[in-house]
Amino acid sequence: MYSYFSAIQHENKKNWWVIKPMVNDSVFLIFSLNENGIHFSHIQNTFQFLDRDRSSASGTVKFSPDGKKLALYNYYDQLHVYDFDRLNGLISNHKKIEVYPSDSIDRNTILFSSVEWSPNSRFIYCSSSVDLYQVDTWENNVQNGVRFIDSYNGTLDPFPTRLFLMAQGPDCKIYMTPKNGSYSLHVINKPDEPGKACDFVQNAIKLPNSNSGTLPNFPRFRVDEDKKCDPTITSLFGETVYYRREIEVFPNPSSGVFQVKIPEVHRSGTLIVSNTEGKILVQKQVNWSVLEEIDISTFPSGRYNIEFYPDDQHEKIYYGKQVIKI
């Protein structure tokens, strides 16, 4: 199963372990990588068979940042968590967590999935195209730690920006890419926080070019360092990239008239209303305003995006909110 390929440094801090679960089987292939190349180490049977028809490219495997655990997730087989011994490369203490009720899994639907850990190795995030869940592994009964975070908001950019691959950045945030060529990334800004306090923002970053729906499959770095990441890091790009922040809009849902609260630090800028396909429907200049009214009562019922771009753009940010017109 090529999408489940993962690696972590050996306890000796020189060699590496490379793992790969097998499709339609219950075994992991364990390889050792050193200065002389890659060598087969052993096969380990976990006695957990994976779905032959749906598992192969539908999920990922990730080691925890502290190097002690291994998580495998796809929508069909659900979440599997193991202990991992970096000294001998052994997997143990299997736990299966049902992110979805087992009787609700639709094996006729193709849902690509991904898994990632929070920097503190407490929370596991599971995305499956339409939903994002958080699992608190510190719960006495881990099954009780499953928390719904959000569902895909329907945005087209220009293709559906469904929830797909995740990777932890060196700035402690988790970045998520849609599964096709879109111009935005989703971000979990505070993955160490429980529940919705993790601050998951869809379409949080606007990219200057389209992304083909991929992220680098990094091994787990900095396992033996006290700080697994640095939240003070500021990403620098060669081109302008806008970071999305939430804007207050009320009432929501509405029959068409919305009040937009302009951020105090930015009283002037451009207010835009677009549909989920990204087509701009309303654009107006805002000058030293506290509250702006947007009237889309003549538009069809549905979801719309309201965005505010400040004139002062030294921070390269914009404010956004998806609203529902009923």
Strand order across the 302-310 sheet: 166-168, 174-176, 182-188, 200-211, 242-246, 317-325, 302-310, 269-275, 280-286
- On whether both 286 and 205 belong to a single domain, the answer is no
Is the pLDDT score of 243 beyond 70? yes
Strand order across the 248-250 sheet: 248-250, 257-261, 291-295
Please report, for residues 65, 115, 146, the alpha-carbon distance to residue 131 in angstroms, rounded to integers and kept in the order given: 23, 12, 13
CATH number of the structural domain spanning residue 140? 2.115.10
For the stretch 6-35, pLDDT in tens is 999 999 999 999 999 987 678 899 999 999
More confidently predicted of 277 and 42: 42
CB contact burial 53-63 (16+ within 10 A = b; e otherwise): ebbbebbbbbb
- On whether both 114 and 232 belong to a single domain, the answer is yes
Helix (H, G, I), strand (E, B) or coil at 305: strand
CB contact burial 6-30 (16+ within 10 A = b; e otherwise): bbbbbbeeebbbbbbbebebebbbb
Is the pTM higher than 0.85? no
Return the DSSP state at 77. T
Is the pLDDT score of 208 beyond 60? yes
**Residues 126/99, Cβ–Cβ less than 8 Å:** yes
- On whether both 110 and 145 belong to a single domain, the answer is yes
Is the pLDDT score of 1 beyond 50? no
Of 242, 269, 285, the one marking the end of a domain is: 242
Confidence tier at 57 by pLDDT (50, 70, 90) = low
- On whether both 142 and 188 belong to a single domain, the answer is yes
Helix (H, G, I), strand (E, B) or coil at 83: strand
Return the DSSP state at 160. B
- On whether both 201 and 223 belong to a single domain, the answer is yes
Of 242, 271, 290, the one marking the end of a domain is: 242
- On whether both 166 and 32 belong to a single domain, the answer is yes
Structural domain that includes position 314: 247-325
- On whether both 166 and 273 belong to a single domain, the answer is no
Lowest mean pLDDT: which of 149-158, 233-242, 316-325? Answer: 233-242
**Residues 15/9, Cβ–Cβ less than 8 Å:** yes
CATH number of the structural domain spanning residue 316? 2.60.40.1930
- On whether both 186 and 266 belong to a single domain, the answer is no
- On whether both 178 and 123 belong to a single domain, the answer is yes
- On whether both 283 and 187 belong to a single domain, the answer is no
- On whether both 200 and 109 belong to a single domain, the answer is yes
- On whether both 180 and 305 belong to a single domain, the answer is no
> What's the token pair of residue 27?
């075994």
pLDDT score, position 312: 79
Of 227, 242, 257, the one marking the end of a domain is: 242
Mean per-residue pLDDT for 266-292? 90
Total count of domains within the chain: 2
Q: How far apart are CA 243 and CA 318, in angstroms?
A: 6
